[in-house]
Amino acid sequence: MPVLSVMLVSQPLGFLLVLVLALAVGGAVPPGPDMAAAAAGGVSGVFALSCFFRAMAIGPMSIVAPISSLGAVVPIVVGLARGEQPGGLQVAGLVIAMAGIALAVREAEHPHGVAVPKLSVALAALAGLGFGGFFVGIDAAASGDAFWAATAARGGGSAVLVVAALALPRMVAVGRAALPALLLIAVLDTLANLLFALATREGLLSLVAVAGSLYPVATILLARLVLGERLAAVQRAGVGLSLAGVVLIAAG
């Protein structure tokens, strides 16, 4: 399906879901500037997901996902600039986790059994930058209320998608058979956004972003089980290092 079609259905559905949650269990609405930052983060997130979905459509998931996860560098830099000071064990975990992601990215340089288009690598890198912007934006409002922060982020992204759909009506085509999958995407993506917002209230942005950027572990395993994409030795080592880094971050 066209990427715009996938996004136009899943994102607004997610907005409605998180809005209901915010109205039901959310606290006070964060200040306007913080909500605006979260909405801007949502726009960045929509850009990232669009690039990410297109990259996965034309390239192997087990390569695209690790590359996109390098967007964790953005919130790490922002967090450190704010004066965040993680402990020694957490720093070690962060370094190990990033090294694991880097090893997984190196897989693009080795024979993989499937073609790795350069465009998919470029789109994955752009997706990473967009994800980084999303992390920073939603963190601004999450300190006030995570539910409203996620609502603002999803609302900002959904608004941009509606404008894009009006400008590009030929790119919108959704069949009934795809609706269950699109609903599942909306639920999972919204849940991920909300959990990240809640996590930033409990830990440093720089560390939470790294932990959240380890989703390629699940994506790589699913790509192997569902699509038959095989893991090279260097990629398996990267997955192991990433998991070890998460353990150290949590222990710290």
In this predicted model, what pLDDT tens digit does every residue of 76-124 receive, in sequence order?
788 778 887 777 887 888 888 888 877 766 655 555 556 678 899 899 9
**Which residues 6+ apart lie within 8 Å of 65 measured at CB?**
56, 124, 215, 216, 219, 220, 223
Q: Report pLDDT digits (tens) over 120-154.
A: 989 999 999 999 999 999 988 998 999 999 999 99
Number of Cβ atoms within 10 Å of the Cβ of 119: 12
* Virtual torsion, Cα 65, 7, 146, 143, nearest 10 deg: 70
Task: Identify the burial level of 173 via C-beta atoms within 10 angstroms of its C-beta, where 0-12 means exposed, 13-18 middle and 19 or more buried.
Answer: exposed
pLDDT in tens, 181-230: 999 999 999 999 999 999 988 888 878 888 888 888 888 888 888 888 77
Alpha carbon distance 106, 121 (integer Å): 12
From residue 176, alpha-carbon distances to 14, 179, 180, 182, 183 in Å are 18, 5, 8, 10, 11
Determine the pLDDT at residue 111. 55
Tokens of 230: 């095989």
Q: Dig out the tokens for 86 from the structure.
A: 């993680």
Return the structure tokens found at 217.
């572990």
- Residue whose C-alpha is closest to residue 90's, from 101, 102, 69, 76: 76
Residue 106 has what pLDDT? Answer: 62
CA distance 217 to 9: 26
pLDDT digits (tens, 9 = 90+) for 46-81: 999 999 999 999 988 888 888 888 787 888 788 778
Q: What is the pTM of this model?
A: 0.84
With a CB cutoff of 8 Å and minimum separation 6, the contacts of 92 are 248
Would you give the distance in Å from CA 26 to the centre of its chain? 23
Pick 19 or 87 by higher pLDDT.
Answer: 19
